[in-house]
Amino acid sequence: MLSQESRGQLAAIAYIRWRLAANSVRNLQGRLELISKIFMAFGAVMGGFGLGVCVTAASWYIVSRGNVELLAIILWITFLFWQLVPVMATAFSQNADTSSLLRFPVSYRSFFLIQMIYGLVDLATAMCSIWLVGATIGVGIAAPRLMPWAAIVFLAFALMNILLGRMIFAWVERWLAKRRTREIMGVLFFLFIISFQMINPMIARFAGHSQPGMFRSIESLLPLERLTPPGLAASALALAASGDLLKAAGAFALLLVYVAAIFWLLNLRVHKQYLGENLSEGAARVAGPKSKLAVPEGWDVPHVSGPVAAIFEKELRYLGRSGPMLFTLVMPVVILFIFRFALTGAGKRENFMVHAPEFAFPVGAAYALLLTVNLVYNSFGPEGMGVQFYFASPVRFREILIAKNFVQGTVIALEIFAVWIAASLFFGTPPLAVVCATLAGVLYGAPVNLALGNFLSLYAPKKIDFATLGRQRASGLTALASIGATVAVMGVAAVTVLVARLLGSLWFATGAFLVFAAIAWGAYVLVLQRVDGIALDRRENLISELSRA
C-alpha cells in the first residue's frame, strides 16, 4: 500500500500535469496540438478495437481446433508491436521527461510509480491491452475452463511487456547519452530496420521450393521459442488445456521469472537516475600549454551571401553528424534493391515493377521526397537554445530559412540522382518521358513541403534531443499536418498520372506538374515574405519551446 506521503506526491504531480495540459490549450497552437493528439489517439484506439475483434476470432478458432500452442503467433505479434512501435514511431510518442521531478523531494517509490504510469498511458500499451483482452475472450468462448488461466497468464504477459518497454527506454537513453554509443546504436538500429524489410523478399525467394533442411532447422528452434515470454505464455495455456496443471504452473512461473528479472533491471536503472547519475559526455578540463587555435575559414558558396553560406555550412555539418538521418536518406536506394532482389529471387512476375519497370524511378523519387519530411517540418529543432542567436544577429529570418531550404533542396536533389542511378542499374534506364514527369512532380512536391515546413517550423517547433529516445521528433500538430500534406500531394500526383495514362501520354503529366510547380513556388515565395514578421511575433514561443530542458 502507498504511504500518505506517496499519495500526496502523486496527487500533486497529477494536479501539475493537469494544470500544464489545461494551460497549454489557451493559445491556438495548444488547441491545434490537442486536436491532433485526439485524432491520433482516436485512430489508434479504433485500430486497436478493430484488430482486437480479429484477435478474438483468431483465438477462438485456434483453441476450438485444439491447437492452443499456436496462440504463440498472436502473442509474438503483440510482443513485437508492443516493443518496436513506440521506438520507431517516436513522432507520436507521449514519453514525458521525469528527470525534472528530481529537483523536488520526491520519494523513490513515487518516482518509480510515475515511470510505470507513463508506461500505462502509452498508445501501444492501450492497443495491445485491447488485443490481450480480446484473446482472453476468444479463449473463454472456445474453452470456458481455460478463461481463468488465460486471464492470469495474459495479465502477467502484459505486465512483462510494460516493464520491458520502460526498461528499454531507460537503458537506451543511458546509452544514447554518449556520442560513441549513440552512433553505434544508430547503425545497429537502422541495419535492423533494413534487415527487417528483407524478410518478405527472403520468403518470396524460398516460396515454392522444397526446403526440408530449412524446415528441420526451424523445428529444432521450437524448443528455444518455448523459453521466450510469448512461448511460455502459450505453453502454459496449452499444458493447462491438456490437464497437466503442474507443468502449466511451471511455465507460468518461468514467465514470472522474466517479469522479476526485467523489474530488477528497470529498478537498477531508475534508482541510479534517482540518485542523480550525471550522463554528460563532456570530458573533464585538463590544463595544458596555451596555444593559439587556428580558426578555419567558412565555406565560400558561389552566388550566395555570407550569412546564407555560413548557415548552409552549419546545416550540412549537423546533417553529416546525424547517423540516423544519413541512414534514413539511404533507404530509397535500399527499397529499390529490395524490390529487385524479391523479383529475381522469387522467379515470379507478380510485382507491378516487372510489368512496368519504368515506374521504379517515380516510386523511388516519391519515397525519397517522403523521407525528407523529417528535415523540412522542424527546421529549428536541432538549434535548441542556440535559436536565440538568430534574433541577436543582423540576419533576417528569411535568409536563415533560405539557407536551410537550400540544404534541404540539395539533399532532395542528391536523393533523386541516387534513385535514378539505382533505378537504372536495377530496372534499366527510365524512359525520357518518365524522367521528365518525375522531375516535374518533384518540382511540384518539394516547394509544397518547404513552404508548409517553414510555416510549421515557426508555429509548432519542437526541440530535437538526439540523446533521448521518444522525444526527438516533431510535434503532434506537425506530424498530422505532414501526413495530410503528403496525402494531398501524392493524391494529386496519382490522379494526374492516371489521367496521363488514360490519355496515352506521360507528357501531359509533365505539363500539369509544371503548372502545379509554378503555383507551389509562388506560395513558397509568399511564405518567405512573411517569415520575418512571423518569427518576431512568435519569438517568445520559439525560444521557450526550443530551450526546454
C-alpha cell read off for 508 = 501531359
Within this chain, do residues 269 and 386 fall inside the same structural domain, yes or no? Answer: no
Q: Specify the 3-state DSSP secondary structure of 45.
A: helix
On whether the CB atoms of residues 123 and 108 are closer than 8 A, the answer is no
Within this chain, do residues 262 and 316 fall inside the same structural domain, yes or no? Answer: no
Assign 194 a pLDDT band (cuts: 50, 70, 90): low
Within this chain, do residues 264 and 321 fall inside the same structural domain, yes or no? Answer: no
pLDDT by residue (tens digit) across 481-524?
777 888 888 888 889 988 988 888 888 989 999 999 999 999 99
User: pLDDT averaged over the chain?
Assistant: 78
DSSP code for 377: T
Q: Is the dihedral of CA 507, 508, 513, 515 positive or negative?
A: positive
Q: Is residue 294 part of a domain?
A: no
pLDDT at position 541, please?
80
Q: What is the DSSP string of 474-496?
A: --HHHHHHHHHHHHHHHHHHHHH
Rg (CA), the chain: 27
Residue 146's Cβ-side half-sphere holds a number of Cα atoms within 13 Å equal to 31
C-alpha cell read off for 142 = 472456445
What distance in Å separates the CA atoms of residue 239 and residue 541, rounded to the nearest whole number?
Answer: 59
Q: Is residue 290 part of a domain?
A: no
pLDDT by residue (tens digit) across 88-129?
555 444 455 566 676 677 777 777 887 777 767 777 888 888
pLDDT by residue (tens digit) across 410-465?
888 988 998 899 888 888 888 888 889 999 999 998 999 899 888 888 888 877 76
Q: Is residue 24 part of a domain?
A: no
Of 77-91, 178-192, 308-322, the one with minimum mean pLDDT is 178-192
What distance in Å separates the CA atoms of residue 3 and residue 335, rounded to the nearest whole number?
Answer: 55
Instruction: Show the beta-strand stretches assigned E in 79-124.
Output: none
Q: Is residue 67 part of a domain?
A: yes
Within this chain, do residues 257 and 120 fall inside the same structural domain, yes or no? Answer: yes
Within this chain, do residues 79 and 170 fall inside the same structural domain, yes or no? Answer: yes
Within this chain, do residues 258 and 322 fall inside the same structural domain, yes or no? Answer: no
**What pTM did the predictor assign?**
0.64
- Exposed / middle / buried, residue 319 (Cβ in 10 Å: 0-12, 13-18, 19+): middle
Within this chain, do residues 342 and 412 fall inside the same structural domain, yes or no? Answer: yes
- Is the model more confident about 389 or about 196? 389
What's the structural domain count of the chain? 2
Q: Is residue 19 part of a domain?
A: no
Q: Is residue 23 part of a domain?
A: no
What distance in Å separates the CA atoms of residue 259 and residue 233, rounded to the nearest whole number?
Answer: 12
pLDDT by residue (tens digit) across 206-242?
555 545 554 455 555 667 778 889 989 999 998 888 8
Count of other CB atoms within 10 angstroms of residue 468 = 18
Within this chain, do residues 268 and 314 fall inside the same structural domain, yes or no? Answer: no
What proportions of the chain, in percent to the nearest 5, are helix, strand and coil?
80, 0, 20
Closest among 371, 372, 388 to 463, alpha carbons compared:
388
pLDDT by residue (tens digit) across 330-382?
778 777 777 776 544 444 545 555 566 777 888 888 888 887 776 788 888 77
Within this chain, do residues 342 and 399 fall inside the same structural domain, yes or no? Answer: yes
What distance in Å separates the CA atoms of residue 118 and residue 113, rounded to the nearest whole number?
Answer: 9
Q: Is residue 139 part of a domain?
A: yes
Q: Is residue 214 part of a domain?
A: no
Within this chain, do residues 439 and 533 fall inside the same structural domain, yes or no? Answer: yes
| Cα of 518 vs its chain's centroid, Å | 33
Within this chain, do residues 341 and 248 fall inside the same structural domain, yes or no? Answer: no
Closest among 29, 231, 62 to 143, alpha carbons compared:
62
Query: What residue numbers bound the domain in which 34 lies?
Result: 29-209+222-274
Residue 108's Cβ-side half-sphere holds a number of Cα atoms within 13 Å equal to 10
Within this chain, do residues 361 and 484 fall inside the same structural domain, yes or no? Answer: yes
C-alpha cell read off for 462 = 519542437
On whether the CB atoms of residues 474 and 462 are closer than 8 A, the answer is yes
What distance in Å separates the CA atoms of residue 340 and residue 331, rounded to the nearest whole number?
Answer: 14
- Is the model more confident about 483 or about 321? 483
Residue in this structure with the C-alpha cell 528441420, named with its chain if needed = 216
On whether the CB atoms of residues 69 and 500 are closer than 8 A, the answer is no
Share of the chain above pLDDT 90, in %: 14
CA distances from 434 to 112, 355, 506 (A): 58, 15, 7
Q: Which residue type, as a one-letter code, is found at position 129?
A: S
